Amino acid sequence: MTEIGIIAVGGYNEMGRNMTAIRINDDIIIVDMGLRLDRVQIHEDVEIDKMHSLELIDMGAIPDDTIMKEINGNVRAIVCTHGHLDHIGAISKLAHRYTAPIIGTPYTTTLVKHQIESEKKFGVKNNIVSLSAGGTLEITKDISIEFINAQHSIIDTVFLAIHTTGGTIVYACDFKFDRTPTLGDAPDFKRLKEIGEKGVIALITESTNSGRNGKTPSEMIAHSMLRDVLIETEEADVGMIVTTFASHVARVNSIVKFAEEMGRIPILMGNSMERYIGTAHQMGYIELPESVEIYGNRREIDKALTRIMEAGKNKYLPIVTGHQGEPGAVLGRIASGETPYKVDRGDRIIFSANIIPNPMTRANRYSLETKLKMRGARIYDDVHVSGHAYREDHWELLGMLRPEHVIPAHGNIQMHSEYIQMAEDAGYVLGDTLHLLRNGEELYIEEE
Ligand SMILES: [Zn+2]
């Protein structure tokens, strides 16, 4: 008999700081250790790299893993499904407390290594193991993990399958079913169905966009929207600036390609652009044209902006950080007139991003757009598609895996309730085969 415990550590009451522990008898696999960024941002001048875990737990910024002391068992692995901060951002604060390797895809583990290097409070010495999508790794003689290719808004995202003697547990936190991705392969539907046929004990899946109708549009749609705004225009000579998620490698890759097509030099600006895109390039996930320039620090950025003003704004396409109005990011500094780049009437600012729905980012974004408009900028917003599955994608996932138990994760209670309604439509029963977990709770499942 196999006893399974699903322990909701973080990310079940909120968006961010995701962490789930999965106990198979006495062996535990931790999945994700993330950060909740808005809990850090509300405090001015917080230097997270110097802070202690307990302080960050009190702030609600990282998962409260002190509950792990009550759980009987040994942690055998820490698995990260992708490189977003809400999945890996607490590794440098929590991983050193466990004698277990950190396992992720190659891009994810490289980001994890960067994060550990920038940590100033704790020494994280866990082994870091890369496992590519499609790969399997034995954890104990009874447990193995498998990475199944997925798509999301960052490259090298995977579904995690934990194979046990009693059946498989699938963790699908953060995915979209993109059959026409602009980078990487479509999700491995064949493998998902095979796993479904063999028997899935439990599915833990994100509820984030389960309240949105239909299916998530493909990244190919965002690609077309960008083409429409950047190339299909009668004003091809005006100043244009694009801002997007630095970690969205496929999106940045599309924008760089459009810059070439426009006969402009793409310039990536911002610390995180350098980190995410530079890393993806070095690792061979994307090819960049010879002409591309990447600048992380403020002095270099301002020098490049001076050059743009001298040579002509129509010769360059700056791709910058700051789409959420983050103070200190490149676009915010441009909007405030703190850089050599002067916005003229008719210049285009293209937001290839949504507004992250919390009051603070809404306020920051409002202030940013207003400042830009006061300088005469024309705003193109929401040139974007989501990286999270919509309701009917979730329906399809349930159809392929047919899990005995379903647990929504990665969302607040409104998002979970949307997921629960969809799962009830699929025949699941709340409290029996469908489970609402709150941070700190453990669900027990016994398998013959
Ligand atoms: Zn994500």
- 153 C-alpha vs ligand 1 centroid, how far in Å? 7
Task: Dump pLDDT digits (tens) for 247-286.
Answer: 999 999 999 999 999 999 999 999 999 999 999 999 999 9
Q: Which residue has the tokens 């490289």?
A: 110
For residue 192, CA distances in Å to 29, 172, 178, 407 come to: 21, 11, 14, 18
Give, as residue ranges, everything with CB less than 5 Å from ion ligand 1: 84, 174
As a whole number of angstroms, the distance between CA 51 and CA 53 comes to: 7
For residue 43, CA distances in Å to 56, 92, 188, 270, 414 come to: 12, 20, 41, 22, 26
Q: What per-residue confidence (pLDDT) applies to 45? A: 64
- 235 C-alpha vs ligand 1 centroid, how far in Å? 36
**pLDDT averaged over the chain?**
95
CATH architecture of 2-215+387-447: 4-Layer Sandwich (3.60)
Q: What per-residue confidence (pLDDT) applies to 14? A: 94
Torsional sign, CA 391, 394, 399, 404:
negative
Q: What per-residue confidence (pLDDT) applies to 358? A: 83
- 329 C-alpha vs ligand 1 centroid, how far in Å? 21
- 206 C-alpha vs ligand 1 centroid, how far in Å? 10
As a whole number of angstroms, the distance between CA 426 and CA 434 comes to: 11
Where do runs of H (alpha helix) occur along 329-412?
Answer: 330-335, 359-374, 391-401
Q: What is the mean pLDDT of residues 119-130?
A: 91
Task: Dump pLDDT digits (tens) for 157-215.
Answer: 999 999 999 999 999 999 999 999 999 999 999 999 999 999 999 999 999 999 999 99
Q: What is the mean pLDDT of residues 80-100?
A: 96
Domain boundaries, the chain: 2-215+387-447, 219-380
- 321 C-alpha vs ligand 1 centroid, how far in Å? 18
- 308 C-alpha vs ligand 1 centroid, how far in Å? 34
Contact 68, 8 (CB under 8 A): no
How would residue 122 be classed by pLDDT, with cut points 50, 70 and 90? confident
Structure tokens at 189: 């539907």
- 4 C-alpha vs ligand 1 centroid, how far in Å? 26
- 361 C-alpha vs ligand 1 centroid, how far in Å? 18
In the chain, % of residues over pLDDT 90:
91
- 229 C-alpha vs ligand 1 centroid, how far in Å? 26
Q: Which residue has the tokens 């309240």?
A: 211
- 171 C-alpha vs ligand 1 centroid, how far in Å? 13
In CATH, the number for domain 219-380 is 3.40.50.10710
pLDDT of residue 44 exceeding 70: no
- 303 C-alpha vs ligand 1 centroid, how far in Å? 33
Amino acid present at 237: D
Contact 219, 184 (CB under 8 A): no
What phi and psi, each to the nearest 5 degrees, are found at residue 409? -135, -175
- 201 C-alpha vs ligand 1 centroid, how far in Å? 24
Stretch (H or E) spanning 282: helix 271-282
In the chain, % of residues over pLDDT 70:
99
pLDDT of residue 389 exceeding 70: yes
pLDDT of residue 447 exceeding 80: no
User: In b/e form, how buried is each residue of 187-205, taking b as 16+ CB within 10 angstroms?
Assistant: bbeebbeebbeeebbbbbb
Q: What is the mean pLDDT of residues 308-331?
A: 95
Contact 189, 175 (CB under 8 A): no
- 87 C-alpha vs ligand 1 centroid, how far in Å? 7
pLDDT of residue 119 exceeding 90: no
Amino acid present at 367: S
Pairing state between β 293-295 and 200-206: unpaired
- 244 C-alpha vs ligand 1 centroid, how far in Å? 15
Contact 219, 385 (CB under 8 A): yes
Most distant CA atoms of the chain, gap in Å: 73
DSSP 223-261: HHHHHHHHTS-S-TTS-EEEEE-TT-HHHHHHHHHHHHH
Q: What is the mean pLDDT of residues 406-428?
A: 97
- 388 C-alpha vs ligand 1 centroid, how far in Å? 8
As a whole number of angstroms, the distance between CA 427 and CA 384 comes to: 33
CA-CA-CA-CA torsion for 98, 99, 103, 106, nearest 10 degrees? 100
Q: What angle do CA 253, 337, 309 make, to 5 degrees?
A: 60
381 burial level (CB within 10 Å; 0-12, 13-18, 19+): middle
